[in-house]
Amino acid sequence: MKKKPVFKKLVVAGLLISMFYGGTLHYKIIQHANMDVSENADYMIILGARVKGKVPSLALKYRIDHAANYLKENPDTIAIASGGKGPGEDISEAECIKRELMQHGIEESRILLEDKSTDTYENIGFSKKFIPEKAETGLVVTNDFHIFRAKMIADNEDLKINGLAAKTPIQAVLKSYTREYLALTKYFMINLFK
């Protein structure tokens, strides 16, 4: 009986490792998206996403709607709307979040604007400056696929926060999860060599 060539064995081993790694990431993403959310958080950071002109993308709309529902049920929680102005956006993502929250009936005085960030690292880092000094409990609001990484980035900023997971639009699931696996891999590589 002929032995399998070494190359074939390496390919099979590579595929098995990739499947295990991908499965582990997916498990962690789902696990963190389904954790219990504490009531009466002192603050929430709502992460921005694409704005089309002045209109939130569906992913951002889901985040805003989910945040608004929580804010209505927890009137002492303040919102930090986070996100700068990118290409094709007439207003910052933070401004869009604020406008939409106010349409939901959330008082302007409860909404703080962090409108300079361009990615999740900056969203969390820049928003940290807006957290009230005596605040203890916080939430990060984003789509379900994004909670796991957002919480780890917050942890790097010494913020122990829970996730408030909004749905991911069905048409964006494959693209969003694929990009998130890559983003998580990059995150782990960066932190491995720190």
The pLDDT mean for the chain works out to 93
**By CB neighbour count within 10 A (0-12 exposed, 13-18 middle, 19+ buried), where does 180 fall?**
buried
Report the percentage of the chain scoring pLDDT > 70: 97
Name residue 127's amino acid.
S
CATH code of 133's domain? 3.40.50.620
- Domain tally, the chain: 1
Is residue 186 in a domain?
yes
- The reported pLDDT for the residue numbered 9 is 80
Q: In this structure, are residues 140 and 150 in contact, taking their beta carbons and an 8 Å threshold?
A: yes
Domain extent, residue 127, equals 31-192
Instruction: Give bridge partners of residue 53 from the DSSP assignment.
Output: 89
- State how far the Cα of 37 lies from the Cα of 32, in Å rounded to an integer: 11
CA distance linking residue 104 with residue 37, whole number of Å: 21
User: What pLDDT does 141 receive?
Assistant: 98
pLDDT reported for residue 1: 46
- Identify whether 45 is part of a domain: yes
Q: Tens digit of pLDDT for each residue in 142-185?
A: 999 999 999 999 999 999 899 999 999 999 999 999 999 999 99
pLDDT at 7 over 90: no
Examine residue 25 and state whether it is found in any structural domain, yes or no. no
Return the sign of the alpha-carbon dihedral for residues 162, 168, 173, 178. Answer: negative
The rounded distance, in Å, linking the Cα atoms of 139 and 161 is 5
Q: Residue 21 falls within a domain, yes or no?
A: no
Residue 5 lies in a domain: no
Give per-residue pLDDT as tens, 16-40: 888 888 889 999 999 999 998 989 9
